[in-house]
Structures are given as structure tokens and as C-alpha cells.
Structure 1
Amino acid sequence: MSPPASIVEELHETILAPEDEDVPVNKRTSFNGRLNQYFHTSKKIPNPSIVQDTSKRKWKPESTTPSSNDEDTGSKQRQKLVSTSILNIPRRITRSHSASSSPSSLSSSPATEPSTADRSRARRQPSSRKSTPASSPVSLLRDTIPPNLTLLLVGVNPGIMTGATGYVYAHPSNLYWKFLHSSGITAIQHAPSDTYRLPELYNIGNTNIVERPTRDASMLSKAEMDGGVPVLEKKVAMQRPEAVCLVGKSIWEAIWRVRKGRAIRKEEFRYGWQDESENIGRCEGWNGAPVFVATTTSGLAAGMSMAEKKCVWNELGEWVVSRREASNRIPSM
């Protein structure tokens, strides 16, 4: 319920009475130049719900004979009531108010928000999780190259798990053992722990062009790859396998760089059997081993579909099976 109009007029005259009667002012528009004082009269901002409750309270007329103290108290109450309820002027928030009395600044404290030093200290603390190292200088993997193998499989380099266990293609995501079985090279899908049984079971062996283990083959430099080419040539010339399979395009690219002195062109590369002139390990009295370039078996490689990879490996498997049948070599399990 709003107060009577007569009382509102009286309140205006009481509040807006000028200090100096000689100064002409427009009372209703400028409030004697004192309008801003009503915006900053109190540092404590009244709750809007309280203001609404105050405006809704019934108007109680004051006593006609108030004491001096009552007059001061009533005057202050009337000033507050007019400035909040009757005038209904929105409070201007200055920088000092927004910085000191805003709810967000009051809620943020050193106890709830860590300081910059605390955050930097937390970043410096080592993680409790064990991360896989990028490379390892130690490898337990050994070559399996007895003389006169039907097939020698050449990888790029050992992975971290392969170097630690001593078994080829030991990481569960690698497709090597799966492709050996699906192509018919092995009778079953062996586990990596059967690495050193492959020569006696199927007359096939394994080696790598680089011995240093890394998490990914892309971490090897071209110098490392090129340096392993003459070593591979010597191994093949000494043990003379019937054929050599390069497990990954990058191995053939390194051999091509060393032999030709330049990178292989896109139109010059192909998977599968290479020309006889590209045999590996050629030496006096021996024409070398034919080269078959197979796809990588890494689970990280996504350049070819699974069907395309299997197609390449199946071609190699057909050749191995035919050579096995020709020599009457039956896999012993």
C-alpha cells in the first residue's frame, strides 16, 4: 500500500530542503545537486526482498509530538524509505563497490582458490602413473637366423615391450602373429613367446634393420635406418635364406636410398615381390635372396585397410605354403 500523497510531498520537502536558501535550485530535478549522496549513503546494500517487504508494509503515521531523538530517527528512516521505495532509483555500483563488496570477490579466498605458487608446485610434482619410455638402450631380443631358412622376416626395430621381453612383435595391438596365421605361414596363431620356436616349426626366422628399441618406428632417424642396410646385407649373405620379407615400407625405402642414392618415387614403389635385380645379400657364387615387401603390422598404421593388408600377406603365405609342399616340409606342432 503506497503512502498518502500529502505525506510524500512532506517527505520531499524535508529531504530536499536546501542548506543555503539563497541558492536557486530546481528541487524536483536536481535535488539541490545532492542526488549522488543518496546513491552512496550506505555501504551495506539492502536485500531486494527486504526493500519489497518494506514497501508493502502498512503506513503508520508518526506521533504528532515526537521527541528530538525520535525526530532524527524518523527523518533517517524517511530518507531511506524515499530513496529506496518512492524514488526507486537503481543503485550505481562503482569500482570500489564491485571490487570489495561483490559476492564473487567475497566467495573467492586463498582457502578455496589455490595461489599461483601452489598451482606451479602442483605441476612440478611427478605423476603417479608410470608412462612408457620413448626409447630403451637395452634389448633382450635375439636374431633367429639359422642357415637355409625358407623365409627371413625383417622388421624395422624392436618396440619397447619387444625389447623388454625378448619376443618379436610382443605388443598386443600388433598384427604380426595374426597375419602369419591368416596367410597360412603358421598353422595356428602363436603367442610372442613362441618367437624362438619358429625356425624349427616352420623354418622361418626374424631379424631387424635397427636394434635400438623405440616406442614407435617413426622415432628412428634416416641415418639409423640407412646404417642398418649393409648389416642386413651381410646377415642374408651369410645365412642365405630362400627369400626375405621386409615387414614395412620404410625398410625398403632405406635400402633404396642406400643403393640408389636417392629416395624412391611414388610410382617406383609397390608391395609384393620385387625385381630379381633387387635381391638382397648377393655375393660371389650366390644370386641373393628375392625380396618381398609386406605391409607394416603396427596397430598405429592406418594408411591401408585390413582387407588390403591381408591381401598382401596372403600372397606371401601362398608362396611359403608352396615352398613347404615342394620340400615336403610339414610343420611339426
Structure 2
Amino acid sequence: MIKYLLSKNADIMFIGINPHFGSYRRGIPFSNNKTLWYLFSRAGLIKEDEDFLRVDENLKKVYEKEFVDIYNLNFTNLIERPSRDVSDLKKGEEVKGKEYLMESIIKYRPKVACFIGKVTYEKFSGEKLESFGWNGSIGKSKVYVMHFPIRGPAAIRVDELKEIMQSIGRNPIGN
């Protein structure tokens, strides 16, 4: 099970669709193949390098001890139930999560609510995504939709993360 760590006024709240079985078992979001964590490193959101992040115990330490307290970042998912793939989700399964997410974004007020992937945003909003990038706001939080980290060139995702950082005046951390 994943314990989502949320804090008031985080720089970025990352929002996924739902956990993969491997991530759920480890208790760490996006830890099944770790690509998103490597992108965080390349973009300068976190200081740990990819070799360090490959080790589950190291990644768990970063998530549980540093992600919120040091890096001022948050993670949550629209749907709590793990699945192998988003195609395994049932229609309407996101309804409960939409309310939770809306309440969490309003309550915790991250500078940016970043939806990880088109499907996540569309399931949350109930609307077809017009374009990746900035998509309005929820309360005081700007909304950004980034490309899903697995498919396509990593450089696009790194640039998206850097764009978010720049918009909130956050400088990359050297690693």
C-alpha cells in the first residue's frame, strides 16, 4: 500500500492515475520501473542520481524522508486500486478519487497540481485534453498536464518539469 504524503503549500503535487502492482507492493509511487524518478533527477527536482534511485531502499528513503520535507513535493493518485495497466480500470472508478483530489488540491494549496499523463487529467476533469502544459487552475493552484513518463522521448518530460520549476521560481538542484 502507498501512503501518500501531502503537505501544505508544496511546490508541486504530482497526480498519477493509479499505482502499478509493483509500486503498490513497494509503497512508493511510480517505483515499478522508476522512470519518473529518473526524470525528477535529470530535471533537478531531486539531487539523487539514477544509480542511487535504482536501489529500492534508497528510493524509499527519498520518498518517505525527503520528498515532502526537503524537496517540498507531493504525490497522490486519482484511484487507489493497483492494476497492471490503466486499461484494467473500470469506468466510474475515478469518481471517488475526483472528490478526494479536488479537496486535497484546495486544502493543501500546492503551487502546481501536475497531472501525470493525458488519461489522468481526462478522468479527473471529465473533459478531453486540448493540449499538454498549462490548463487553468484549481483554487490557488496552477494546473499542468505532463506527458506520461514511459512512452516517448525523456527530454520532453525533463523540459516539462523544468518549465514547471521555472514558473514557480525554483532552480534545479545539481546532482
Q: Report TM bin, short chain.
A: 0.7 to 0.9
TM-aligned CA deviation for residue 220 of structure 1: 0.9
SS of match in other structure, 2:30: coil
Structure 1 stretches of at least 4 aligned residues deviating more than 3 Å after TM superposition: none
Correspondent of 2:130 among 253, 263, 269: 269
Q: Quote the Cα distance in structure 1 between the aligned partners of 2:108 and 2:82.
A: 24
CA contact (8 A) 2:115 2:146 kept: yes
1:195 aligns with 2:63: yes
Name whichever structure is richer in strand by fraction: 2
CA contact (8 A) 1:181 1:188 kept: yes
1:297 aligns with 2:157: no
User: Which amino acid in 2 is paired with 1:247?
Assistant: I
Q: Quote the Cα distance in structure 2 between the aligned partners of 1:178 and 1:164.
A: 20
Summarize deviations over 1:5-34 as a string: whole Å, max 9, x none.
xxxxxxxxxxxxxxxxxxxxxxxxxxxxxx
CA contact (8 A) 2:116 2:145 kept: yes
CA contact (8 A) 1:236 1:289 kept: yes
TM-aligned CA deviation for residue 252 of structure 1: 1.1
Aligned twin of 1:33: none
Aligned twin of 2:10: 149
In structure 2, relative to structure 1, the CA distance for the partners of 1:297 and 1:320 (3 Å cut) is same
Aligned twin of 2:158: 313
User: Which amino acid in 2 is paired with 1:226?
Assistant: V
Q: Quote the Cα distance in structure 2 between the aligned partners of 1:269 and 1:221.
A: 24
SS of match in other structure, 1:222: coil
Aligned twin of 2:41: 181
User: Which amino acid in 2 is paired with 1:182?
Assistant: R
Residue segments in structure 2 that go unaligned for 5+ positions in a row: 54-58
SS of match in other structure, 2:47: coil
Name whichever structure is richer in helix by fraction: 1
SS of match in other structure, 2:92: helix
Summarize deviations over 1:51-93 as a string: whole Å, max 9, x none.
xxxxxxxxxxxxxxxxxxxxxxxxxxxxxxxxxxxxxxxxxxx
The structure whose RCO (Cα within 8 Å, separation 6+) is larger is 2
Residue segments in structure 1 that go unaligned for 5+ positions in a row: 1-139, 258-262, 283-287
Correspondent of 1:208 among 65, 77, 80: 77
TM-aligned CA deviation for residue 162 of structure 1: 1.2
Correspondent of 1:231 among 100, 103, 106: 100
CA contact (8 A) 1:249 1:294 kept: yes
Q: Quote the Cα distance in structure 1 between the aligned partners of 2:123 and 2:141.
A: 17
> How large is the RMSD of aligned CA atoms in angstroms?
2.3
CA contact (8 A) 1:149 1:203 kept: yes
Q: Quote the Cα distance in structure 1 between the aligned partners of 2:81 and 2:160.
A: 30
CA contact (8 A) 2:12 2:73 kept: yes
Q: Which has the larger radius of gyration?
A: 1
Alignment of 1:1-333 (within 5 A): 140-172=1-33, 174-189=34-49, 191=53, 192-193=59-60, 194-196=62-64, 197-257=66-126, 263-264=127-128, 269-274=130-135, 276=136, 279-280=137-138, 282=139, 288-298=140-150, 301=151, 305-306=152-153, 309-320=154-165, 323-325=169-171
